[in-house]
Structure formats: C-alpha cells, structure tokens
C-alpha cells in the first residue's frame, strides 16, 4: 500500500495494551501466554477495542520481561509457539481486532547471538557500542535509566553501552547491517498479518558517535539529549520506506525526550516517519500515592500536545502502562468513581486512547509487603542502590514499593476464584491482588454501573467522529480542581467536565446545567460530585 493510501483505522480505534505475562495463563504454569490471549479475544471484542498491543512476545531471557530480546523472529516459549501466535493473529483478524507487536529495537539482550558474537570479537563486533574506559572507569558519565552507570564490561574488560539494564546492550544503529536486520524482523511479522509495531524507546536509537559526557546524566535530561540524535529522522524515514510503506500498518513510537515540536516532525503526514508517538510528559507525572499533584500542569500537558500536534499529525493518550503505577492509584483514590473519571479523560481526547489491561476495571496498585513479592529489574536495582547508599532495609523497601512497575503487572483479575481466574497454577509469577475477590471482570460484566460498563460505553461513543476528530479546547486552564473542555466538530459541540478532586465543587457557569449525556454519579446538577465525570451536549 502506498503511503498516500494509508488507512487511518488507528486514529479511530481504541488501543488496548496486553501484558502477556499477566493477562491469562491457559497452560497453568503461573505465567500468562498466547493461548490465554486467544481465549480472551471475545472479552476484548465485547469491550469494543480495535487494536491489541502486546508487550514483547519474542524470545527473551525475560530479565526485563521481553524488552531484552534474544531472537526477533522467534516466539518466547514461555508464551507459546509460532503456531499459537499465528492462530492469535488469525482469530483476532476474524474479530476485526488488529494485533500490534512491541519491538525493543534500541537494544538486545546480551544473550542475543549478535551480542555473543560481538563480545567474542566476531564479525558483529560493530553492531554494539564499545569504547575504551577512562582510567579503568566508564567511558562517559551516562547513567542507566534503571540506575548506575550506562556501561558494563565483558570478560575481556571491554566496555559496552546499555541505557537500561546491563543485560540490554544498545545496538549501534550507525551500522546499516543492524538496521537491515531490524527491518527484516519487522517484515517477518508484518507478513504474518500483524497490524503494526510499538517501537520501544525509538527516539534514542541515534546517538552522536562521540558519546561525549552530558551536563546532566540523569534519566530525563539524558533522554532529552539523546532523543535529538543526528540521524534519527534518517533512520525512521528509511524504516518507513523499507518497511511500513508496504503494509497497512501503524507505527507507534515510544518517545522519551521529545517535546511537541520535535514530535510533530516525527508524525508529520507530509513527511511521515511514524504514525503517532507516545510522549513522556504524562509518564513523568508520578504523584506520590495519596500525595497532592499539580492539576494545572497536568491539564496543560493535554493542551500543549493538542496544540503542538493537533489535527495535522496525530496524538495518543497514554496515561498508564506496564511501567507505571495504576492510573486510579496515581491520579485518583482507587475508587470506581475516580477510575471512571480518569477513563473519561483518556477516552475523550483528540488522540488515540490507550487502555492498559485492567484499567477498564479500575484495578489499583498492589499491597507489596516483602521484597520477594517484586520481580521488576528496575525495582531490584533501585533497592540495591538504596542499600548501597546506606538506607535502612525499611526505607529502601519503601522507596522500591513507591516506584516499582510491578503495580501494573499483577495478574489480570478475571473473577473471584483463586488467582482471580488468571491461572490454575498453585503459584503465579506475581501474586494476584487480593482485592480480586470483589474487583474482577466477571462481577463487572454483570453490573451496568461498573467501571467496565462505563469504559465500554465511552469506547462506543468514539464511533461518533466528534470524539475522534473534534477540536479540543480547555475552557478553564487555570482551574486547580476541574478539567473542563469542549470538543467541536462540524458545528456540533460537547463539553466534558471532570472533577479532579475527591470533594464536590460547584458547576462552573460555562457548563450547561441541563441533563447530561453521561454522568458517573447521581446528585444535584449544579454541583460536580467528587471525581465526577459529566458529558453535556451543547
Ligand atoms: C520502555 C519499556 O516500556 C520498558 O518496560 C522497558 O524496560 C524499557 N523501555 C527498556 O526496553
């Protein structure tokens, strides 16, 4: 398909992120798998999502749960076989659900044969970044995103770059053979009928080859430094030309370090590289649980990105994913009302909404009590470094619980049975949140007032082009309590009024007080109840 004829199904669809390890375990080994996803396709269909993005399913030692690839064209046996994957693609296609695969292309596992060859000084030596140490220390001052230096040594003392864990060596995209190998892998899956890719941290694939010191080597400034890499556009244009332009597919870039100006270049329809990106401004807002957070700054992110990319390129809304605490624990109070309000926010933007598995139920953070309940490599590094700095076990543990990505990775809560219906195993890889006894999909499917019913309703609302394409305007950017915005399309207008607080607030005069189209609570119309979400036709 030529680039001018590319369809825009991905603008109209809701994207549902599946974390395969935690979605549904069909073979009873305590870990989710592909057959589990096949089993639950009817659930996704019923919810109304058009795209399922799977966190990595490729072969991997799973130190970072698949973001450490050891073979880009093999299915991880933990998740099933190639035949299972092909069946998934086919069953999804029958239901009109596109499967988007996650590809970690900035780095591979150090167990990938490419790295094994490179570290033995084979013909793939130049596929990775090797540098001389400085007096025995790391070649530059870059810090790994997970903590500690971004350099480790192989047995012969050579330093290799890893922006993430030491088991994730950065690929040298300067080398055309690397780029060709990744293009080949992408084509391999697209030929099998997948609907596109989510490209892990794609904005950092191009590095200035001198790899010089940075002024501030902490994660966010380092991301900003590398994301402006000199050959990023060239690499992405090449990928477009070589791969995406030949398929009806979507290319979604995970885009740390970019602001709307940089991002708009990546998704400019006149010079397309990616179809959409997901930025890190919302990811970076990680309020301390129960603590206060800056609602005005939060709202500004939505307006800034809408204005910055607007209708020309295309935005996405990613407020939650497998790297963050649960959305209703971060920005709400874990109640169904706050979960519904936050889902309304996500699903009523001019952007493709991403729902992370379980958010449609209002799943919340996990009550981790001991370190051995946590698996996350980043969390373990955080704990180790905190202890090395002299923090007590209790303080280091508290720091780890506050940041661990495992809050979002506890198994999906299908029903009230043992393991929440996720698995028949005696032990699951992470414990199921004990609140599955009351918070689960089965209970919510029967309840017309559930969070899931609300999510389903909002997803269906997006069949109206007003909600997909309508212009967005924040009606009160300075209001520290409410987020009230208008969506307008071809002379039709709707207003969304969200109460971002757990206390009632008077309805502002600019919101019509007549009967709402949708409301998540009952009560007087002249007030916005705690965590109320209201949609009014105007
Ligand atoms: C971003 C992914 O979302 C995260 O889970 C992973 O650890 C890093 N990239 C490294 O691949």
Q: Is 201 in the pocket of ligand 1 (CB under 6 A)?
A: yes
Rounded CA gap, 433 and 50, in Å?
28
Report whether residue 102 contacts ligand 1, using a CB cutoff of 6 Å: no
What is the model's pLDDT at position 290?
Answer: 64
Burial of 93 from C-beta contacts in 10 A (0-12 / 13-18 / 19+): middle
> How many CA within 13 A on the CB side of residue 137?
8
Distance from C-alpha of 528 to C-alpha of 104, rounded to nearest angstrom? 43
Over residues 273-278, mean pLDDT = 95
Instruction: Tell me the pLDDT band of 513, cut-offs 50, 70 and 90.
Output: confident
- Considering 68, 165, 170, 254, which one is annotated as catalytic? 254
Residue 289, exposed/middle/buried by CB under 10 A (0-12, 13-18, 19+)?
A: middle
Q: Which atom of ligand 1 is nearest to the CA of 106?
A: 11
Residue-wise pLDDT tens digits, 398-431:
999 999 999 999 999 999 999 999 999 999 999 9
Q: Residue 6 above 80 pLDDT?
A: no
200 lines ligand 1 (CB under 6 A): yes
Closest by CA position to 463, among listed 6, 9, 3, 130: 9
- pLDDT tops 70 at residue 529: yes
104 Cβ below 6 A of ligand 1: yes
| 19 ligand 1 Cβ < 6 A | no
Ligand 1 pocket residue status of 283, Cβ below 6 Å: no
- Count of CA atoms in the C-beta half-sphere (13 A) of 503: 2
By most ligand atoms within 8 Å of CB, the mutation choice from 22, 60, 164, 324 for ligand 1 is: 164
pLDDT tier at 484 (50, 70, 90 boundaries)?
very high
Q: Which phi and psi angles does 317 have, rounded to 5°? A: -120, 110
- Any atom of ligand 1 within 6 Å of the Cβ of 164: yes
Checking if the pLDDT of 80 tops 70, the result is: yes
For residue 126, how many C-alpha atoms fall within 13 Å in the half-sphere facing its CB?
7
Nearest to 283 by CA among 338, 331, 250: 331
Instruction: Tell me how far the alpha carbon of residue 167 lies from the centroid of ligand 1, in angstroms.
Output: 13
Q: What is the mean pLDDT of residues 172-198?
A: 98
Q: By three-state DSSP, how is residue 252 classified? A: strand
What residue ranges in 90-165 does DSSP mark as E strands? 98-103, 107-109, 130-131, 151-153, 159-161
Distance in angstroms (rounded) separating the CA atoms of residues 137 and 151: 9
Give the span between the Cα atoms of 143 and 211, in whole angstroms: 12
Say yes or no to pLDDT of 187 above 90. Answer: yes
User: Would you say 98 and 51 are in contact if contact means Cβ atoms under 8 Å apart?
Assistant: yes
What pLDDT sits at residue 286? 75
Instruction: Specify whether the CB–CB gap between 109 and 66 falls below 8 A.
Output: no
Q: What does the alpha-carbon distance between residue 87 and residue 35 come to, in Å, rounded to a whole number?
A: 9
Residue 33 Cβ contacting ligand 1 at under 6 Å: no
Output the six-digit token pair for 137: 């220390």
Atom 2 of ligand 1, residue of closest alpha carbon? 200
What is the distance between the alpha carbons of residues 90 and 115, in angstroms, rounded to a whole number?
33
Please state, for a pLDDT cut of 70, what percent of the chain lies above it: 98
Is the C-beta atom of 26 inside 6 A of ligand 1? no
What is the residue whose two structure tokens read 């269906």?
460
How confident is residue 1, by pLDDT bands cut at 50, 70 and 90?
very low
Residue 2: is its pLDDT beyond 60? no
Of the pLDDT bands very low, low, confident and very high (cuts 50, 70, 90), residue 228 is confident
Å from CA of 261 to ligand 1 middle:
24
The pLDDT confidence band at residue 324, using thresholds 50, 70 and 90, is very high
Q: What is the mean pLDDT of residues 483-510?
A: 97
On the question of pLDDT at 110 being above 80, the answer is yes
Handedness of CA 438, 442, 444, 446 (dihedral sign): negative
Q: Separation of 444 CA from ligand 1 center, angstroms?
A: 31
What residues pair up with 278 in beta bridges, in sequence order?
A: 254
- 54 C-alpha vs ligand 1 centroid, how far in Å? 13
| pLDDT given for residue 310 in this prediction | 74
pLDDT for 91 beyond 60: yes
289 confidence band (pLDDT: 50, 70, 90): low
Give the CATH fold of the 9-109+175-371+405-461 domain.
Answer: TIM Barrel (3.20.20)
Q: Is 432 left (phi over 0), alpha (psi -120 to 50) or beta?
A: beta
| 270 C-alpha to ligand 1 centroid (Å) | 30
Confidence at 312, pLDDT banded by 50, 70, 90: confident
What proportion of the chain, given as a percentage, has pLDDT over 90? 93
List the one residue out of 269, 266, 191 whose CA is nearest residue 236: 266
How many alpha carbons fall within 13 Å on the CB side of residue 71?
8
473 is catalytic: no
Helix axis angle for 393-403 and 377-388, nearest 10°, is 150
Query: What one-character DSSP code corresponds to residue 503?
Result: S
Domain made up of 114-161: CATH architecture: Alpha-Beta Complex (3.90)
Residue with the smallest CA separation from ligand 1 atom 10 is: 67
The model's pLDDT over 156-165, given as tens digits with 9 standing for 90+, comes to 999 999 999 9
Active site residue 126: no
The one catalytic residue in 165, 200, 275, 359 is: 200
What are the sequence ranges of the domains in the chain?
9-109+175-371+405-461, 114-161, 468-537
- What number of other Cβ atoms are within 10 A of residue 242's Cβ? 16
Q: What is the pLDDT of residues 330-378, one digit of tens each?
A: 999 999 999 999 999 999 999 999 999 999 999 999 999 999 999 999 9
**pLDDT for residue 4:** 41
CATH of the domain spanning 468-537: 2.60.40.1180
Contact in structure between 36 and 26 (CB atoms under 8 Å): yes
Find the Cα–Cα–Cα–Cα dihedral 513, 519, 523, 528, rounded to 10°: -60
Ligand 1 contact, 53 CB (< 6 A):
no
The residue whose CA is least distant from atom 5 of ligand 1 is 323
Q: What is the mean pLDDT of the chain?
A: 95
Ligand 1 atom at minimum distance from 378 CA: 7
Q: Of 252, 223, 192, nearest to 58 (Cα)?
A: 192
Mean pLDDT of 263-279: 94
Encoded tokens for 374: 């946590």
Query: What's the pLDDT tens digit per position in 435-467?
Result: 999 999 999 999 999 999 999 999 999 999 999
- For residues 265 and 269, what is the distance between their CA atoms, to the nearest angstrom? 9
| Test site for ligand 1: of 17, 110, 200, most ligand atoms within 8 A of the Cβ | 200
CA nearest ligand 1 atom 8, residue: 67
Question: In this structure, is the dihedral angle defined by the CA atoms of residues 374, 377, 382 and 384, taken in order, positive or negative?
Answer: positive
């Amino acid at each position: 398909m030529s680039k001018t004829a590319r369809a825009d199904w991905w603008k109209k669809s809701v994207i549902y992120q599946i974390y395969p390890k935690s979605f549904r375990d069909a073979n009873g080994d305590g870990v989710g798998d592909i057959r589990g996803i096949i089993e639950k396709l009817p659930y996704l269909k019923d919810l109304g999502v058009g795209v399922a993005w799977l966190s990595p399913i490729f072969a991997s030692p799973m130190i970072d749960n698949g973001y450490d690839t050891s073979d880009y064209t093999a299915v991880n046996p933990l998740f099933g076989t190639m035949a299972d994957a092909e069946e998934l693609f086919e069953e999804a296609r029958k239901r009109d659900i596109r499967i988007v695969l996650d590809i970690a292309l900035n780095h591979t596992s150090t167990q990938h044969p490419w790295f094994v060859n490179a570290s033995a000084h084979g013909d793939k030596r130049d596929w990775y970044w090797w540098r001389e140490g400085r007096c025995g220390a790391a070649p530059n001052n870059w810090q790994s995103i997970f903590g500690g230096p971004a350099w480790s040594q192989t047995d012969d003392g050579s330093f290799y770059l890893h922006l993430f864990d030491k088991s994730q060596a950065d690929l040298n995209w300067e080398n055309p053979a690397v780029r060709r190998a990744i293009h080949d892998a992408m084509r391999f899956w697209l030929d099998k009928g997948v609907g596109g890719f989510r490209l892990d941290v794609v904005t950092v694939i191009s590095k200035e080859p001198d790899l010089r010191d940075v002024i501030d080597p902490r994660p966010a400034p380092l991301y900003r430094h590398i994301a402006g890499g000199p050959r990023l556009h060239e690499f992405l244009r090449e990928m477009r030309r070589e791969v995406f332009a030949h398929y009806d597919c979507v290319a979604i870039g995970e885009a740390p370090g970019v602001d709307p100006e940089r991002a708009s270049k990546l998704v400019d329809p006149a010079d397309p590289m990616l179809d959409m990106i997901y930025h890190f401004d919302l990811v970076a807002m990680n309020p301390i649980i129960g603590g206060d957070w800056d609602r005005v700054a939060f709202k500004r992110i939505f307006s800034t990105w809408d204005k910055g990319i607007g209708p020309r390129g295309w935005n996405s809304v990613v407020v939650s994913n497998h790297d963050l605490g649960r959305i209703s624990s971060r920005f709400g109070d874990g109640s169904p009302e706050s979960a519904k309000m936050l889902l309304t926010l996500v699903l009523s933007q001019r952007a493709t909404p991403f729902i992370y598995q379980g958010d449609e139920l209002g799943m919340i953070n996990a009550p981790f009590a001991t370190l051995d309940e946590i698996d996350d490599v980043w969390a373990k590094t955080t704990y180790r470094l905190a202890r090395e700095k002299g923090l007590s076990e209790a303080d280091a543990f508290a720091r780890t619980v506050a940041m661990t990505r495992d809050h979002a990775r506890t198994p999906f809560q299908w029903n009230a049975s043992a393991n929440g219906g996720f698995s028949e195993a005696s032990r699951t890889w992470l414990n199921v949140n004990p609140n599955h006894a009351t918070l689960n999909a089965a209970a919510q499917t029967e309840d017309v007032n559930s969070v899931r019913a609300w999510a389903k309703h909002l997803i269906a609302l997006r069949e109206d082009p007003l909600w997909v394409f309508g212009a967005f305007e924040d009606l009160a950017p300075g209001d520290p309590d409410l987020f009230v915005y208008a969506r307008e399309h071809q002379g039709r207008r709707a207003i969304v009024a969200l109460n971002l607080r757990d206390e009632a607030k008077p309805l502002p005069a600019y919101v019509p007080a007549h009967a709402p189209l949708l409301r998540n609570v009952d009560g007087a119309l002249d007030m916005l109840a705690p965590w109320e979400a209201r949609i009014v036709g105007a």
